[in-house]
Structure 1
Amino acid sequence: MNDELHVDHEDQILDAAMRWINYDFDNRCKHAPKVLNHVRLAIVGLQPLIETMSEPIYRKSPQCRKLVDAALKYLQVPHERVIMPPLNTERRRCADVPGVIYALGGLGTSSNSAVEFYDPLANQWIPTTEMPSLRARFGVAVVKRKLYAIGGCDGFTRYRTVEMFDVNTNTWKKKPDLLFQRSAMATAVVKDTIYVCGGYNGTDSLASVEVYRPDWRCWNTRPSLAIERCAAAAAVIDEQVFVIGGHNSAAIYNSVEVLDTSKSVTTLWQFGKQLLSPRCRHGATTMGGQIYIAGGYDGSQFLNTVNMYDPEKDQWYPLSPMNMCRSRVSLVATDDKLYAIGGHDGKSNICSMEIYDVRENRWHFGPSMKLHEGGVAVGVIPVSSTVITR
């Protein structure tokens, strides 16, 4: 079953599969194990799986029963997952459906609690519910269509606090605090697990790493980075987290560290392919199985340069530069395009957005933000399938 089916939740796939089977049960029963094998039952959710146990196919087919029971065990006995056969827990992502880009907080005098989103279908920025807290230089993660605002600072104090925004209800909710206060961290998500790497605690650059899942009550530690990194950027390929560049207040890095999250939780970070040049305060994202970085600062100048990493060749390549130099820029990917948002050009904060089309290999300006300028935190929420089908 295609990874790029556009659904909000995997239980929609399970529901469609069960309706197809039950429509002509006698003739389709024999195909049910093959059909259910393509449903990612481990991410369906506990209640839909329990309801599936009352379906005729659960009683009729030992193979289907085995698939459902394995997923139930995965959800109900998480401490035994390391000895269970692997299950597909990757969420489906449709590259052909544009996401909604949310810009949060930032360094502007009046914008560090503001939230607005860019709708690529309407080609405009739209204000929405403010954050409860003033935040700058914080991390943003998107898990299950929810935005997490993590750590950061108010200009004086570094935060441990975390808040979650539900885009369906436009409401904020407090979530468990980080273990350590930090700002200017690198943030990534792998299979619904949030990774927060490095940063700055008000005194020192950090190497520590914390992880969190929505079904956990608290954050947990993971092996630290090999070196302290503040103002680095993060991106994910497959199940590998790349923490790219950054600085330690004394030096700006061209080094990259990589963590393979598919291995043991004690797996250490390894150094990856070095950047073409040092940079910090840059943006990073993944698109089409490749990593893109844009902008930043190299210690002497603000950058408009853009590089791409090809994991198959283990090599960084230069691409067309942005129209403007942008330090503290946010970079996201959706609809096969890169969006470079906000930043600082060395003289002033920027509210503009540039869009990169891979096929054209050039940048052009999109609509400017209405509420923000300078460094903003950004996350992409997939457009709901209910919106697409209206």
Structure 2
Amino acid sequence: MAYFDRQWGWGPPIENINDAMRGILSRERDGMDRYNWAMGLARYHALEFGQHSAVSIMDPIYIGKLLESDEVNIFHEPRVFEMIARYCLLNANEKDKVMHEMVKSLRLPLIRPQYIIDEIEPAVRPNGKCRELLKEAYRWHLVPEEREKMRLDSPVRTRPRNPYIRIISVGSHDMETCNILELYDTKEKEWNRMKDIEIDRTHTSSIMVDCRVMIVGGKVDGKPSGRVQCYDVITATMLEEEPLLTPRYNASLVTMGFGFATVLYVLGGRNEDGCLDSVEKWDPDNREWLYGKEMEFKREEFGVVAWDNRLWVAGGRCGDVWFETLEMFKPKKNKWKFRADMNQPRPYCKMVVAGYNFYAMGGYTEGEGERNLFTLERYDPYEDKWTLLANMNICSGPISVGAIGDKIIVFDGKPDENGQSRAEYFVDSNYKWLNFDPFKHHRANASIITIPYFMNRMRLAKR
């Protein structure tokens, strides 16, 4: 199998940023085609672009047009404010003139209130026009019943960004398909099977950590495994990491932090003694696993997300006990706390963060004659409340779930009567499910990994 280079974006960031800067600054001379191309480069490498020394001499209108785009490759909205604050600091003499032009490109209502109060309000309050934007953000948080009207009045500022990213699917409950790696391009709208990776077990859990796919635990010949493999998507090589302290399968993975400060958590699952409540976290500096604070309940096949510097765990099961409970963990306090229960128990629960909230879906009904759950629930962390939304159209077997911006994507656990995979996506503001491109090679309970902006190149092998 020959290796090939698959371009991730437009080449090395520094060269691209310089090209983008020249294209934007020479709009009058070189025309709109080059300008539009340069703005595309700047959106793709937005964080690096914001650190460029020449940004300070650019017209704030261009910066505003750049930052108001849905396709800006920034997943954390406060990062956008940091770019605005830096620009205003470099243009201190014209701060009052440029502040509103910049801040109106910010998705203020989608930023948590405490950050607005502590960081944003002190910087923008002296500007009268910016105060109106602050009022809009506070009204979004304090009067949730007006959010639908606000979505109509301010569709851009209340809509999560939808940046250009790619998706990896890996793993399965089936030994025949557990080593398949597929890649989806949101621009090309197509799945491509890449080089198969060497996985000798089923029921693994996978997640992206610092440009690498971590494949954790699993089941070999019916026994739990503590094996941890690391697939480097830059070099297309599989590496071995230190094994888990407790072998397990059906565990849930989540990361917190950014870049080299990313912390990987492995929660719950099952071993030969039954379900687990133990938590392990990966220490990237010493390359070792450490035990964390145990969850309140032993669980497997549950959902977990990281949101607002906290871990949120919901659903799952332990033997015949099926959970609807939600637990929240604050790393700084090293303490788990119960929050509002879901509307129904959910073994095989899946959770994703999409936009301002996070969502739980999938699973089975309780009692005799287990049936698939087609329901979708949204949790509002500020109100501590779950709300049932539009039912899914597909849900047979353990589903696979991911998110792009505010889109929730679900891949069915079983093929249809023609043996074809099925997939659909949900956008909360539209309140309906629409068809999405399914896997080319069907798998149940695959891990769905989204590739963020800093993945600049990818080197994989074609079959």
Q: TM-score, normalised by structure 1?
A: 0.72
Q: Specify every segment of 5 or more residues in structure 2 that has no aligned partner in the other structure, as ranges.
A: 1-41, 57-80, 84-159, 458-463
For 1:344 and 1:303, locate their aligned partners in 2 and report how far apart those are by CA, in whole Å: 14
Q: Is 1:141 matched up with 2:211?
A: no
Aligned residue in 2 for 1:294: 361
For 1:308 and 1:146, locate their aligned partners in 2 and report how far apart those are by CA, in whole Å: 30
The one-letter code of the counterpart of 2:184 is Y
Q: Is 1:277 matched up with 2:344?
A: yes
Q: Is 1:115 matched up with 2:188?
A: no
- Would the alpha carbon gap of residues 190 and 348 (structure 1) be closer, same or farther in structure 2, given more than 3 Å must change? farther
Aligned residue in 1 for 2:30: none
Q: Is 1:16 matched up with 2:52?
A: yes
| Conserved? CA contact 2:354–2:405, under 8 Å | no
Q: Which of the pair is proportionally richer in helix?
A: 2
**Superposed displacement of residue 311, structure 1:** 0.9
- Would the alpha carbon gap of residues 214 and 122 (structure 1) be closer, same or farther in structure 2, given more than 3 Å must change? farther
Mapping of residues 299-310 of structure 1, within 5 Å: 299=366, 300-310=370-380
The count of aligned residue pairs is 315
Q: Deviations over 1:255-300 (max 9, x none)?
A: 1111012x14xx1211111010001102111112311111111332
Out of 131-140 and 315-324, give the one that drifted further: 131-140
The one-letter code of the counterpart of 2:407 is K
User: What root-mean-square deviation, in Å, do the aligned CA atoms of Structure 1 and Structure 2 show?
Assistant: 3.3
Aligned residue in 2 for 1:364: 434
The one-letter code of the counterpart of 1:220 is L
For 2:217 and 2:420, locate their aligned partners in 1 and report how far apart those are by CA, in whole Å: 23
For 1:310 and 1:184, locate their aligned partners in 2 and report how far apart those are by CA, in whole Å: 27
For 1:232 and 1:347, locate their aligned partners in 2 and report how far apart those are by CA, in whole Å: 28
| Conserved? CA contact 1:350–1:374, under 8 Å | no
Q: Is 1:240 matched up with 2:310?
A: yes
- Would the alpha carbon gap of residues 160 and 385 (structure 1) be closer, same or farther in structure 2, given more than 3 Å must change? closer
Mapping of residues 101-250 of structure 1, within 5 Å: 101-154=167-220, 156-191=222-257, 192-250=262-320
| Conserved? CA contact 2:254–2:304, under 8 Å | yes
The one-letter code of the counterpart of 2:379 is Y
Aligned residue in 2 for 1:79: none
Q: Specify every segment of 5 or more residues in structure 1 that has no aligned partner in the other structure, as ranges.
A: 22-36, 40-93
Aligned residue in 2 for 1:259: 329
| Conserved? CA contact 1:146–1:381, under 8 Å | no
**Superposed displacement of residue 347, structure 1:** 10
- Would the alpha carbon gap of residues 350 and 106 (structure 1) be closer, same or farther in structure 2, given more than 3 Å must change? farther
Q: Deviations over 1:8-33 (max 9, x none)?
A: 797x469624x769xxxxxxxxxxxx
For 1:8 and 1:381, locate their aligned partners in 2 and report how far apart those are by CA, in whole Å: 14
Q: TM-score, normalised by structure 2?
A: 0.62
Q: Is 1:311 matched up with 2:385?
A: no
- Would the alpha carbon gap of residues 384 and 346 (structure 1) be closer, same or farther in structure 2, given more than 3 Å must change? same
The one-letter code of the counterpart of 1:107 is H
Out of 312-321 and 372-381, give the one that drifted further: 372-381
Out of 359-368 and 303-312, give the one that drifted further: 359-368
| Conserved? CA contact 1:97–1:335, under 8 Å | yes
Out of 158-167 and 192-201, give the one that drifted further: 158-167
Q: Deviations over 1:353-390 (max 9, x none)?
A: 21112232111222221223222122111255758xxx
Q: Percent identity?
A: 22
| Conserved? CA contact 2:211–2:455, under 8 Å | no
Aligned residue for 2:335, secondary structure, equals: coil
For 1:351 and 1:156, locate their aligned partners in 2 and report how far apart those are by CA, in whole Å: 27
Out of 131-140 and 228-237, give the one that drifted further: 131-140
Q: Deviations over 1:147-173 (max 9, x none)?
A: 211112245221111112222333322
